[in-house]
Amino acid sequence: MSRLPLRTIDDAPTDATDRLAAAEKNSGFLPNLLRVLANAPVALETYVTVGEINARASLTLAEREAVQITAAVVHGCGFCVAGHTAVAYKKAKLDPAIVNALRSKGLVPDNRLNAVARFTQAVIATRGDVSAEEISAFHRAGFSDQSALEVVLGVSLATLCNFANNLAQPPLNPELEPYSWKRETAGLTE
């Protein structure tokens, strides 16, 4: 049971309905995250706009999904872990070993994606004040200063949706159930 209303296209504030309709058309269903954000049309607009900007980043889709899954795990957002796991499998075509490592904060069996995950964790843990060694390790993995800032961009997007979901606690959409994640399943007690 969601702690905030799950808006529909019919009962959402007028400023949110076009974005909800577009999301439903794009996904084939209306994600409960967006139904929650529709309670504050500017929050929904921010999420959609920043998501579109993030999609234009130089990071690959797989790298952007590594940021999103890592941030969702760190923030304890099961809804976002499930949603981004679906994207990781269906659109980014990531191997299950990679996705499972991201979901459990384990060693990712891909050097670049492991570097993205570790750097994302460092950005969140230090609020961006990463150590010289952390930025150096990210650079050694082949990433630029632009990439580092794009990780921060991805974390900002994740923070909005992770915190909104943690606040509202919406149920997973049935379409996301196969990808469900709970903090306990990953052995996390943060």
pLDDT 10s per residue in the chain (190 long)?
899 999 999 999 999 999 999 999 999 999 999 999 999 999 999 999 999 999 999 999 999 999 999 999 999 999 999 999 999 999 999 999 999 999 999 999 999 999 999 999 999 999 999 999 999 999 999 999 999 999 999 999 999 999 999 999 999 999 999 999 998 654 443 3
Q: Going by C-beta distance under 8 Å and a sequence separation of 6 or more, which residues neighbour residue 50?
A: 153, 156, 157, 160
Rounded CA separation 23/123 (Å): 29
Q: Decide if 3 is inside a domain.
A: no
Residue 189 lies in a domain: no
pLDDT value of residue 130: 98
Q: Which domain holds residue 84?
A: 14-182
Helical H runs in the chain?
14-27, 32-37, 41-55, 61-75, 78-90, 96-104, 111-126, 132-140, 145-168
Q: Is 187 left (phi over 0), alpha (psi -120 to 50) or beta?
A: left
Residue 121 within any structural domain of the chain? yes
Q: Is 119 helix (H, G, I), strand (E, B) or coil?
A: helix
pLDDT recorded at residue 183: 80
CATH of the domain at 162: 1.20.1290.10
Domain membership flag for residue 128: yes
Provide the domain count of the chain: 1
